[in-house]
């Protein structure tokens, strides 16, 4: 655990006094301190191209009065800097006349250990694995023309000091291991990418030569794409594979169920609470409590313990995801979904691990039932316009389905759909729910946070496939 005041000219009790004094007439707020250490080691084009170490230290001071947020952050944890921030907050909230809400739920449960993944493995052993990855892939097939692989790891220590001196702390490890391979055959070039990660040591993911599985998967995706033909264009049935394709849920539904957009009534879902928004059998949860998962948090960035929040139960909209501010204004409780990228940013309600739970059907049944459609197995990024509800995502591995059988692979196409109506088009939910491999980062208002997704195979009756083949 970091002691943020050890090397500062300000003592903890002086800082606590500034916090209490600044937030006196506010409804909420806190001093958020953060110390993070991170590294990236990158192999590219046969060479170790980058070994970077980053250490980041800073604080963000927030005061909330009614709907107004005043925020100030700096890298210097000093008397001067904290006082200046305090003055900034006070001058914005001159007319604040609220009552500070001291209550914050407590929990002793932790969802990951306070390890420092950066120190568990030497630089040389990381370089060694990257070189092995490079050799392994280049020897695998002579159409391998480019290999990129990297380790990135982080340990983030945070402390939240609330008015009255209450302190909440967390130490968060996070790692990711990634492989990207480019193949070239008959003048065509295609890429395959795969990665693994979560809130454990590198070795938890890479032991027993598991890095080979990551390489094989990246290679397999690239090989499939080398044989791909132009994707069809137009509305058709879509079968989504289990696991990572759940970013469809994340984009189509998840963002629209975040508290802020609904308080502001800019989400297409804001007036649908308690109503049927999905087919029967569709249940979606957002869960921060899965052990060691990328999107899991012991406490959120306001200090609230995370939970498993039921968003949609058997088709009915049950809850939004809330931070303290939006919960207070919408007269409900925080779901432990208040997150920020780092101390430079204000807290927003965000997703953690968003999952559609298993149903009863098999993937086989779904494919069999489709005359003409596509089977999408993996995706790149996605994006949503939460106001119109339209969302897209890009296929990185997909196949055509003809007369109930999987056919040729098709080129990366964008799928586009409508968030509020897409889940009503789900006609089968598989029995094969799978978590993603731990690679997701979600962007909102310029802030990226690690997230997870999960789903079983699902059949969607109608989606627009953005191919070139009419």
48: which residues sit within 8 A by CB, 6+ positions away?
A: 41, 42, 127, 130
Can you tell me which of 234, 291, 332, 372 binds other proteins, judged by CB under 8 A? 234
Choices 97-105, 153-161, 289-297, 462-470; region in contact with other proteins by CB under 8 A:
462-470
What spatial distance separates the first Cα and last Cα of the chain, rounded to whole Å?
59
Is residue 301 a contact point for other proteins (CB under 8 A)?
A: no
Is residue 385 a contact point for other proteins (CB under 8 A)?
A: yes
CB of 350 to other proteins, least distance (A): 17
Is residue 408 a contact point for other proteins (CB under 8 A)?
A: no
* Phi, psi (deg, nearest 5) at residue 215: -60, -45
Q: Would you give the distance in Å from CA 381 to the centre of its chain?
A: 12
Is residue 74 a contact point for other proteins (CB under 8 A)?
A: yes
CA–CA gap between residue 167 and residue 13 (Å, rounded): 12
CB of 233 to other proteins, least distance (A): 4
CB of 330 to other proteins, least distance (A): 15
* Between 91 and 103, CB nearer to other proteins: 91
* Between 8 and 431, CB nearer to other proteins: 8
Contact assessment for residue 298 and residue 109, using Cβ atoms and an 8 Å cutoff: yes
Choices 23-31, 227-235, 313-321, 361-369; region in contact with other proteins by CB under 8 A:
227-235
* Between 25 and 110, CB nearer to other proteins: 25
Question: Hey, which residues between 415 and 434 contact other proteins (CB under 8 A)?
Answer: 415-418
Question: Hey, which residues between 269 and 288 contact other proteins (CB under 8 A)?
Answer: none
Contact assessment for residue 293 and residue 245, using Cβ atoms and an 8 Å cutoff: no
Can you tell me which of 11, 49, 113, 207 binds other proteins, judged by CB under 8 A? 49
CB of 102 to other proteins, least distance (A): 23
Question: Hey, which residues between 328 and 357 contact other proteins (CB under 8 A)?
Answer: 344, 346
Sign of CA dihedral 144, 145, 151, 152: negative
Question: Hey, which residues between 361 and 380 contact other proteins (CB under 8 A)?
Answer: 380
Is residue 388 a contact point for other proteins (CB under 8 A)?
A: yes
Question: Hey, which residues between 87 and 106 contact other proteins (CB under 8 A)?
Answer: 88, 91-92
CB of 323 to other proteins, least distance (A): 14
Q: What is the DSSP string of 392-449?
A: EEEEEEEEEEETTEEEEEE---EEEEEHHHHGGGEEEEBS--EE--S-EEEEETTEEE
Q: Which structure tokens are listed for 223?
A: 């090989």
CA–CA gap between residue 192 and residue 438 (Å, rounded): 17
Residue 61, CA distances (Å) to 14, 297, 360 in order: 15, 21, 49
CA–CA gap between residue 468 and residue 361 (Å, rounded): 32
Can you tell me which of 106, 229, 264, 360 binds other proteins, judged by CB under 8 A? 264
CB of 385 to other proteins, least distance (A): 6
Can you tell me which of 382, 438, 440, 452 binds other proteins, judged by CB under 8 A? 382
CB of 247 to other proteins, least distance (A): 12
CA atoms within 13 A on the CB side of 151: 31
Contact assessment for residue 32 and residue 343, using Cβ atoms and an 8 Å cutoff: yes
Q: Of 158, 199, 205, 157, which is closest to residue 179 (Cα–Cα)?
A: 205
Place of tokens 């101390």: 343
Choices 279-287, 299-307, 408-416, 449-457; region in contact with other proteins by CB under 8 A:
408-416
Question: Hey, which residues between 143 and 202 contact other proteins (CB under 8 A)?
Answer: 145-146, 182, 184, 188-191
CB of 148 to other proteins, least distance (A): 8
Can you tell me which of 4, 19, 23, 81 binds other proteins, judged by CB under 8 A? 81
- The SS3 call for residue 160 is strand
Can you tell me which of 52, 80, 210, 441 binds other proteins, judged by CB under 8 A? 52
CA–CA gap between residue 277 and residue 389 (Å, rounded): 13
Can you tell me which of 208, 265, 403, 446 binds other proteins, judged by CB under 8 A? 265
CB of 343 to other proteins, least distance (A): 9
CB of 88 to other proteins, least distance (A): 5
One symbol per residue from 3 to 22: x for binding other proteins (CB under 8 A), - otherwise; what is it?
----x---------------
By the 10 Å C-beta count (0-12 exposed, 13-18 middle, 19+ buried), 275 is classed as exposed
Q: Of 345, 337, 325, which is closest to residue 257 (Cα–Cα)?
A: 337
Place of tokens 């990551």: 214
Is residue 120 a contact point for other proteins (CB under 8 A)?
A: no
The DSSP 8-state label assigned to residue 229 in this structure reads B
């Amino acid at each position: 655990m970091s002691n943020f005041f050890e090397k500062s000219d300000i003592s903890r009790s002086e800082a606590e006094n500034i916090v209490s004094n600044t937030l006196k007439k506010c409804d909420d707020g806190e001093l958020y301190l953060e110390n993070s250490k991170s590294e990236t080691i990158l192999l590219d084009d046969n060479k170790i191209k980058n070994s970077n170490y980053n250490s980041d230290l800073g604080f963000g001071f927030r005061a909330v009065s009614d709907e107004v947020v005043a925020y100030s952050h700096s890298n210097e944890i000093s008397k001067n800097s904290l006082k200046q921030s305090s003055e900034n907050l006070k001058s914005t909230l001159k007319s604040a006349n609220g009552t500070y809400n001291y209550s914050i739920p407590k929990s002793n449960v932790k969802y990951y250990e306070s390890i420092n993944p950066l120190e568990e493995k030497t630089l040389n052993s990381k370089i060694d694995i990257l070189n092995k990855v490079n050799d392994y892939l280049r020897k695998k097939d002579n159409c391998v023309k480019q290999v990129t692989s990297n380790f990135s790891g982080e340990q983030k220590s945070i402390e939240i000091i609330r008015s009255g001196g209450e302190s909440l702390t967390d130490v968060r490890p996070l790692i990711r291991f990634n492989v990207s391979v480019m193949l070239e055959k008959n003048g065509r070039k295609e890429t395959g990418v795969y990665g693994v990660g979560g809130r454990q040591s590198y070795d938890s993911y890479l032991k027993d030569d598991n890095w080979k599985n990551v390489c094989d998967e990246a290679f397999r995706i690239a090989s499939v794409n080398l044989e791909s033909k132009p994707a069809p264009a137009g509305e058709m049935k879509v079968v989504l594979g289990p696991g990572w394709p759940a970013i469809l849920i994340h984009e189509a539904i998840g963002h629209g169920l975040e508290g802020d957009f609904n308080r502001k009534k800019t989400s297409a879902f804001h007036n649908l609470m308690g109503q049927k928004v999905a087919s029967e059998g569709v249940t979606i949860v957002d869960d921060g409590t899965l052990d060691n998962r990328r999107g899991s948090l012991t406490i959120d960035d306001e200090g609230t313990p995370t939970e498993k929040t039921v968003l949609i139960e058997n088709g009915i909209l049950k809850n939004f995801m809330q931070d303290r501010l939006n919960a207070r204004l919408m007269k409900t409780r925080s779901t432990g979904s208040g997150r920020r990228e780092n101390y430079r940013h204000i807290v927003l309600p965000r997703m953690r691990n968003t999952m559609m739970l298993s149903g009863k059907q098999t993937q086989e049944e779904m494919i069999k039932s489709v005359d003409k459609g596509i089977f999408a197995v993996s995706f790149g990024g996605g994006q949503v316009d939460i106001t119109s509800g339209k969302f897209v995502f890009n296929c990185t591995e997909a196949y055509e389905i003809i007369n109930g059988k999987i056919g040729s692979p098709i080129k990366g196409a964008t799928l586009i759909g409508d968030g509020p109506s897409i889940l009503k088009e789900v006609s089968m939910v598989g029995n094969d729910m799978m978590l993603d491999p731990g690679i997701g980062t979600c962007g909102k208002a310029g802030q990226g946070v690690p997230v997870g997704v999960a789903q079983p195979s699902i059949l969607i009756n109608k989606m627009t496939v953005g191919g070139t083949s009419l």
